[in-house]
Chains A and B, each alone.
Chain A
């Protein structure tokens, strides 16, 4: 106890008291635990990446161009992922064109316009739940709507099993994620900024356009790209929508009319090749995984670059 007794002011006593409790065991243990958690994560990632890179290296080093542009084949030595990259590219286009405007629009309406009633709360909770619905369920939804009901539009010559159906299904899959992250970004805009806009006589639209959206932009962008990355990696909905796994003719064209043809995509190729017994496909699978990871990484890196650029302008 530090009282008023003169003994506690003696230099020796002060020194002893100030230098005590040097070992903060609990704090050290806590910190070590946190570090361990981080290391486990990093180690797992490192194992994953080194495993697929070393597994796929034989393919990526010997015939990179051929592998990237080649078509599906039953022979591992000639099989390529060109058609899968094309399918994944168009899926990304659909996700960006459909999920981005619809999701951001819904988020802005929810946050800026909708009255805070029990009904909007209900909608909000439901959107959050939708984000957790397994992707296979969205696959069934996409199959029912885009393949069966709307097959005449999505692909009259391919029974609706086209990249249009897949892209729209995956856009719906990530829509809740886009809404949630965008709504959070909009909610993070300080009210003082809105008040400043209203205070000089701006309408709600002018405040949103000139101040809320620019401020929330980086957050919206990050959320959207994370959602995009999720969409590019989903395999289950593709299986249900009916991505092709065997021979695929004409699926290597980037013409718009080819959107209504049969298609395949990267996760589908990986899923299919991984199940093949021939030894050559093991390396091809690993190589395809490396490419898919690289694509997703590039999307994320673009988002981070854009975000940093916009945040600097604040």
Chain B
């Protein structure tokens, strides 16, 4: 087992054994860092519809630069929907529609002059299930740079991306082999390397560890810590320990049942520094979720 897995195991223990603090003392209303220069995304009153069904409503929040922001909450509360708004991946769902604004460095991503392809070059994505292309490891990494028109040394990009994703040593002798032969954890790190290869500013991660075992999960988490010095990361996770371990900021979503129909709409309950969210949440729904009383 590599050394990083050991440290991971320790930190997991440290986090899970910490008793949840009781949130009773009064707190200041605005505790978020709101330095505008370090804000990458600013969501303004964002609602997402699938046809006539409103999946998420009225979300307003900021996502800081070079930090890890986690979206947590129970199933069906719109975390993934929210995440996929941030690089216009929801465009691929024909019936999806967005109201409100997603400001990326002050530019509304849903402005009709914005090209979603350019958006996704700057804002990469790692998906829930590892989805490498059924091609060689090398081709997986180079596809992004190639379509971006990179003319430089692709070998160098491959090595740099794979090193960054802590996968280089494991695959450097079989770059021409199919990516489908890698283990699940390796495939997911390859997907991270593939996202890094186009040199994005932001990486969106949609439950990147949900299909992985704890050791592979630990590696991905270490990797996130490591790359956040250069990248802004937004991660959706079902795993509260994971949110507590890796994230700097935390946004808690929940679902409210609509009166007139049997549908549920996601709402943003609270967003704050992660340690505050877990030790001293303001909303009692957050508190019951992070202490494991529901969800």
Assembly CA distance A165 to B171 (angstroms): 56
Residues of B within 8 A of A193 (CB): 131, 133-134
User: Do the beta carbons of A314 and B134 come within 8 Å of each other?
Assistant: yes
User: Do the beta carbons of A203 and B147 come within 8 Å of each other?
Assistant: yes
Say if the beta carbon of B118 comes within 8 Å of chain A. Answer: yes
Assembly CA distance A211 to B135 (angstroms): 9
Q: Write the nearest CB–CB distance from B270 to chain A, whole angstroms.
A: 29
Contact of A196 among B118, B127, B178 (CB under 8 A): B127
Say if the beta carbon of B111 comes within 8 Å of chain A. Answer: no
Say if the beta carbon of A198 comes within 8 Å of chain B. Answer: yes
Q: Write the nearest CB–CB distance from A218 to chain B, whole angstroms.
A: 12
Assembly CA distance A196 to B144 (angstroms): 10
Contact with A along B134-150 (1 / 0, CB 8 A): 10000000011001100
- Of B26-34, B69-77, B191-199, the one touching chain A: B191-199
Q: Write the nearest CB–CB distance from A196 to chain B, whole angstroms.
A: 5
Say if the beta carbon of B125 comes within 8 Å of chain A. Answer: yes
Contact of B120 among A115, A194, A201 (CB under 8 A): A201
Assembly CA distance A314 to B134 (angstroms): 5
Say if the beta carbon of A195 comes within 8 Å of chain B. Answer: yes
| Most chain B beta carbons < 10 A, residue from A190, A192, A197, A201 | A201
A199 touching B117 in the complex, CB below 8 Å, given contacts A210-B143, A215-B134: no
Contacts between the two chains (Cβ within 8 Å), count: 70
User: Do the beta carbons of A199 and B132 come within 8 Å of each other?
Assistant: no
**Main secondary structure on chain A at its contact with chain B?**
helix
Contact of A199 among B118, B124, B134 (CB under 8 A): B124
Contact with B along A200-213 (1 / 0, CB 8 A): 11110010001100
User: Do the beta carbons of B92 and A211 come within 8 Å of each other?
Assistant: no
Q: Write the nearest CB–CB distance from A34 to chain B, whole angstroms.
A: 34
Residues of A within 8 A of B143 (CB): 197, 200, 202, 210
User: Do the beta carbons of B147 and A206 come within 8 Å of each other?
Assistant: yes
Say if the beta carbon of B121 comes within 8 Å of chain A. Answer: yes
Contact of A201 among B92, B118, B180 (CB under 8 A): B118
Assembly CA distance A115 to B178 (angstroms): 34
Residues of A within 8 A of B180 (CB): 314
User: Do the beta carbons of B117 and A202 come within 8 Å of each other?
Assistant: yes
A314 touching B178 in the complex, CB below 8 Å, given contacts A196-B127, A199-B89: yes
Give the nearest-CB partner of B136 in chain A.
Answer: A313
Residues of B within 8 A of A21 (CB): none
Assembly CA distance A215 to B134 (angstroms): 8
User: Do the beta carbons of B134 and A201 come within 8 Å of each other?
Assistant: no
Q: Write the nearest CB–CB distance from A120 to chain B, whole angstroms.
A: 11
Assembly CA distance A197 to B117 (angstroms): 10
Assembly CA distance A196 to B143 (angstroms): 10
Q: Write the nearest CB–CB distance from B62 to chain A, whole angstroms.
A: 23
User: Do the beta carbons of A201 and B121 come within 8 Å of each other?
Assistant: yes
Q: Write the nearest CB–CB distance from A14 to chain B, whole angstroms.
A: 37
Q: Write the nearest CB–CB distance from B78 to chain A, whole angstroms.
A: 18
Residues of B within 8 A of A210 (CB): 133, 143, 147
What would be 28 A-B contacts, judged by CB atoms less than 8 Å apart?
Answer: A116-B94, A191-B92, A192-B127, A192-B129, A192-B131, A193-B131, A193-B133, A196-B127, A196-B132, A196-B133, A196-B191, A197-B133, A198-B89, A198-B117, A199-B124, A200-B120, A200-B143, A200-B194, A201-B117, A201-B118, A201-B120, A201-B148, A202-B117, A202-B143, A202-B144, A210-B147, A211-B133, A314-B178
Extra A-B contacts (10), CB below 8 Å, given A195-B131, A200-B147, A201-B118: A195-B127, A196-B127, A196-B194, A198-B89, A198-B117, A199-B124, A200-B195, A200-B197, A200-B198, A206-B147
- Residues of B at the A interface (CB closer than 8 Å) are 87, 89, 92, 94, 117-118, 120-121, 124-127, 129, 131-134, 143-144, 147-148, 178, 180, 191, 194-195, 197-198
- Residues of A at the B interface (CB closer than 8 Å) are 115-116, 190-203, 206, 210-211, 215, 314
Q: Which 5 A-B pairs have the closest CB atoms?
A: A201-B121, A200-B144, A192-B131, A199-B125, A314-B134
